[in-house]
């Protein structure tokens, strides 16, 4: 079995994979500098109550800095190994944690289990899946900061998600589960299935902490699939899906 196959197996079994040194020190310095610049420019979409400031526009504003992180050569084998040409960038978000930060336990793809149930009703529907690649821009050492996952939290549906979600009960349940704690260093990338519950945190409020997240989804009808007509794209083309 090749090293890559072992890593892909690990990603499937654990729900995440820590890729050490995915970005070079120069790339980290460049990306971190431009994320800090975005904050100085006031380009953030907001700062939430748990201390997470987010930026959704950086890929469009500064593609020369931010586009290389999409399908970055150090991450590409994992994305390609999981999804091949069906790998589609869904969204792109940078974060800065300016002060105290204890993220809420959450899943990026909350609807994974609901969609999984739905496909049973339809003959051609396939299970949607999401993958995060989160690039860390500082050393998160013990005592500084970390990223926690629920151990194998991608394999079974968590309780309390049925809409309307009971957030305090979900949070409490997450806290009571067995966890795996990662301490990603500057340049490391954590590749994980977007439906595994996770929580980032600072252990030291004055730590500089930022990251860039590329969200991918698996889209069977990719742009390279041979079809007689050109695709109309994405927005407004799902007649039976309710927009959130
Ligand atoms: O380390 C963090 O702050 C959490 C990152 C996160 O929520 C994500 O990558 O989706």
- Indicate which CATH number applies to the domain containing 127: 2.60.120.620
Q: Are strands 210-218 and 179-182 parallel, antiparallel or unpaired?
A: unpaired
Tell me what pLDDT residue 16 has: 99
73 is a domain residue: yes
228 is a domain residue: no
Domains contained in the chain, number: 1
Q: How far is the CA of 230 from the centre of ligand 1 (A)?
A: 36
Domain that holds residue 166: 3-218
243 is a domain residue: no
Does the beta carbon of 103 sit less than 6 angstroms from any atom of ligand 1?
Answer: yes
140 is a domain residue: yes
71 is a domain residue: yes
229 is a domain residue: no
Average pLDDT along the chain = 97
Atom of ligand 1 nearest to the CA of 213: 9
Spell out where the chain has E strands.
16-19, 46-47, 53-55, 87-96, 130-136, 145-150, 179-182, 189-193, 198-202, 210-218
Q: Say how far apart CA 189 and CA 133 lie, in whole Å.
A: 6
234 is a domain residue: no
Q: Say how far apart CA 162 and CA 148 lie, in whole Å.
A: 23
- Spans in the chain with pLDDT lower than 70: 243-244
- Which helix (H) or strand (E) segment is 6 a member of? helix 3-14
225 is a domain residue: no
> Which of 96, 103, 136, 185 to mutate for ligand 1's pocket (most ligand atoms within 8 Å of CB)?
103
- pLDDT digits over 201-231, tens only? 999 999 999 999 999 999 999 999 999 999 9
Tell me what pLDDT residue 244 has: 63
């Amino acid at each position: 079995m090749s090293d890559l196959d072992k890593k892909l197996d690990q990603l499937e079994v654990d729900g995440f994979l820590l890729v050490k040194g995915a970005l070079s020190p120069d790339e980290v310095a460049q990306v971190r500098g431009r994320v800090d610049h975005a904050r100085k420019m006031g380009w953030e979409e907001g700062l939430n109550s748990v201390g997470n400031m987010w930026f959704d526009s950086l890929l469009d504003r500064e593609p020369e800095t931010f586009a290389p992180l999409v399908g970055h050569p150090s991450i590409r084998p994992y994305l390609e190994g999981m999804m091949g040409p069906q790998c589609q960038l869904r969204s792109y978000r940078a974060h800065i944690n300016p002060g105290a930060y204890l993220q809420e336990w959450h899943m990026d793809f909350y609807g994974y289990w609901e969609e999984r149930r739905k496909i049973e009703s339809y003959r051609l529907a396939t299970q949607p899946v999401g993958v995060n690649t989160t690039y860390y821009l500082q050393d998160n050492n013990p005592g500084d900061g970390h990223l926690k996952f629920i151990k194998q939290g991608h394999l079974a549906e968590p309780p309390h998600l049925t809409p309307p979600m009971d957030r305090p009960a979900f949070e409490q349940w997450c806290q009571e589960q067995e966890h795996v704690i990662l301490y990603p260093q500057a340049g490391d990338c954590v590749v994980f299935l977007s439906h595994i519950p996770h929580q980032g945190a600072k252990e030291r409020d004055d730590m500089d902490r930022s990251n860039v997240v590329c969200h991918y989804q698996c889209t069977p009808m990719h742009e390279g699939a041979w079809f007689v007509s050109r695709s109309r794209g994405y927005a407004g083309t799902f007649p039976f899906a309710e927009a959130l």
